[in-house]
Structure 1
Amino acid sequence: MDNTVYTISARGKKLNQPVEKYFKTYFPNIPLSKIDSLFGFIEKTTLYSGRPFLNPQISQKDYEFLQKNNIGLRIPFTNHYISEKEYKKYKPLLEKYHKKGNSLIITNDEFVSWVRKDFPLYKIEASILKEIDSVEKINKALEIYDTIVLPMNVNNNLTLLESIKQKDRITLFGNAGCALTCPNRICYDYISRKNKVLGKSNLIMRSIYYYYYFIIRRKWCMHKIKPRKLHGIKDFDIDKYYQMCFRRFKMLREHSGRKTGY
């Protein structure tokens, strides 16, 4: 029996686009029964990272659809820098989605300890931003997190993948974007810092701030500093990883008119 499950990215989804239509448009070959969760921005907060926060992507109607179809909400609270004061500020937001089946993607280990104490129903996944790329790092992270997202390039290290004992707690990328071949992922820390402003500003100020720090300035991304050829999304051979006993896969979508891939 195929027990593969997928966690789907809402990156690029417009807030007013129904999530059911989004799934059918960009992931038509994945049935709802195989979608474990959807991850993306929900409400304004400074806890995000991975991508600059401009607007929410998942609406309340989307959330109701997910709940109705037993699909979890995965919230990317992946910012590297989270103080206890900041955590307390956003406890009402954490409480709002605190339900069995929902999960948080986290980078900051101390943040995990606070969430474990106050919101035990959340499953907690270690973010790709932690760059967990060795057996030692995997074993250490599994002491703190329920599951781990491994970096895209680890998919090519079959020796490492075979050596992982708890494969059921690992999420692999089913396809890959620019991070696959990036020589130095300097954007991770940069975005965490800039989201501290984006996550508390109004839309006009967010747009201005984003334009300056992410469009005019170019030293936050290795591809902008030293361009390399991009080809779009790379699809991995999921069947191969299934045979290795991996069951959880993270799926990205390619943006129309843009080369966001490897």
Structure 2
Amino acid sequence: MDNTVYTISARGKKLKQPVKEYFETYFPNIPLHKIDSIFGFIEPTSLYSGRPFLRRQISEKDYQFLQENNIGLRIPFTNHYVSEKEYLKYKPLLQKYHKKGNSLIITNDDFVKWVRKDFPLYKIEASILKEIDSIDKINTAFELYDTIVLPMNVNNNTKLLERIDQKHRITLFGNAGCALTCPNRICYDYISKRNKVLGNSNLVTRSIYYYYSFILRRKWCMHKIQPRKLHGIKDFDIDKYYEMGFTRFKMLREHSGRKTGY
């Protein structure tokens, strides 16, 4: 029996678009019962990373639909930099979604320890931003995290994948964007720092700061510094990884204009 499950990216989703319609439009080949969770922005907070925070993507109505259909909410609190003071500030937000079936994607190990103590119902996944790309790193991360997202390029390292003991705790990318071929993912740290401002600003200030930090400035992305040919979204052979013992897959929505994923 095929027990694969998928976590779906809400990147690029408009807030007013119902999540059911979003699934049907951009991921029509994945049955609803196979969707384990969706990840994207909820309320404003400086805990995000991975993408610059501009506005919410998953609405309250979306969340209600997820709950009614046993689909988890995965919150990308992936910022590299989280102080205890900041954690305390956002405890009410953590409390709001503290429910079995929901999960957090985290990069900062101290943040994980605080959450474990106060919010034990959350499953915690190690973010791709941690760049866990060796057996030693995987085994160390297993001591703190429930599951791990491996970098996209690790999908091509069959020998490493075969050596992983607890494959059921690994999330592999089912498809991949620009990070697959990026020689130096400098954007990760840059976005973490800029989201400290974006997550604490009103929409007008946020938009101005975003324009200055991500449109006018170019040295935050390796493709802007050293352009390379991008090929859009690459689909991986999920059946191949399933036969190896992997069952958890992360799916991105294609951004055709930028030749990558959202």
What TM-score, normalized by structure 2, do the two folds share? 0.99
Look up the SS of the partner of 1:125 in the other structure: strand
Alignment match, 1:16: 16
Look up the SS of the partner of 2:116 in the other structure: helix
Look up the SS of the partner of 2:33 in the other structure: helix
Structure 2 distance, partners of 1:210, 1:245, is 41
> Does structure 1 retain, via aligned residues, the 8 Å contact 2:232–2:256?
no
- Residues 46-195 of structure 1 aligned to structure 2 (within 5 Å): 46-195=46-195
Structure 1 distance, partners of 2:153, 2:259, is 18
Unaligned runs of 5+ in 1: none
- Residues 12-51 of structure 1 aligned to structure 2 (within 5 Å): 12-51=12-51
Structure 2 distance, partners of 1:152, 1:118, is 32
State the AA in 2 paired with 1:140.
Answer: T
The CA deviation string for residues 191-220 of structure 1, in whole angstroms up to 9 with x for no partner, is: 000000000000010100000010000000
Structure 1 distance, partners of 2:208, 2:145, is 36
State the AA in 2 paired with 1:260.
Answer: T
Structure 1 distance, partners of 2:252, 2:103, is 18
Structure 1 distance, partners of 2:211, 2:228, is 23
- Tell me by how many angstroms 1:116 deviates: 0.1
Look up the SS of the partner of 2:121 in the other structure: coil
What TM-score, normalized by structure 1, do the two folds share? 0.99
The CA deviation string for residues 95-115 of structure 1, in whole angstroms up to 9 with x for no partner, is: 000000000000000000000
Structure 1 distance, partners of 2:2, 2:242, is 9
Structure 2 distance, partners of 1:63, 1:177, is 27
Structure 2 distance, partners of 1:66, 1:256, is 27
Look up the SS of the partner of 2:124 in the other structure: strand
Cα RMSD for the two superposed structures: 0.6
Alignment match, 1:231: 231
> Does structure 1 retain, via aligned residues, the 8 Å contact 2:41–2:55?
yes
Look up the SS of the partner of 1:13 in the other structure: coil
Structure 2 distance, partners of 1:204, 1:236, is 39
- Tell me by how many angstroms 1:256 deviates: 4.4
Unaligned runs of 5+ in 2: none
- Tell me by how many angstroms 1:260 deviates: 1.4
Deviant stretches of 4+, over 4 Å: none
Structure 2 distance, partners of 1:90, 1:137, is 29
Percent sequence identity is: 85
Look up the SS of the partner of 2:193 in the other structure: helix
Aligned residue pairs total 261
- Tell me by how many angstroms 1:257 deviates: 2.8
Look up the SS of the partner of 1:53 in the other structure: coil
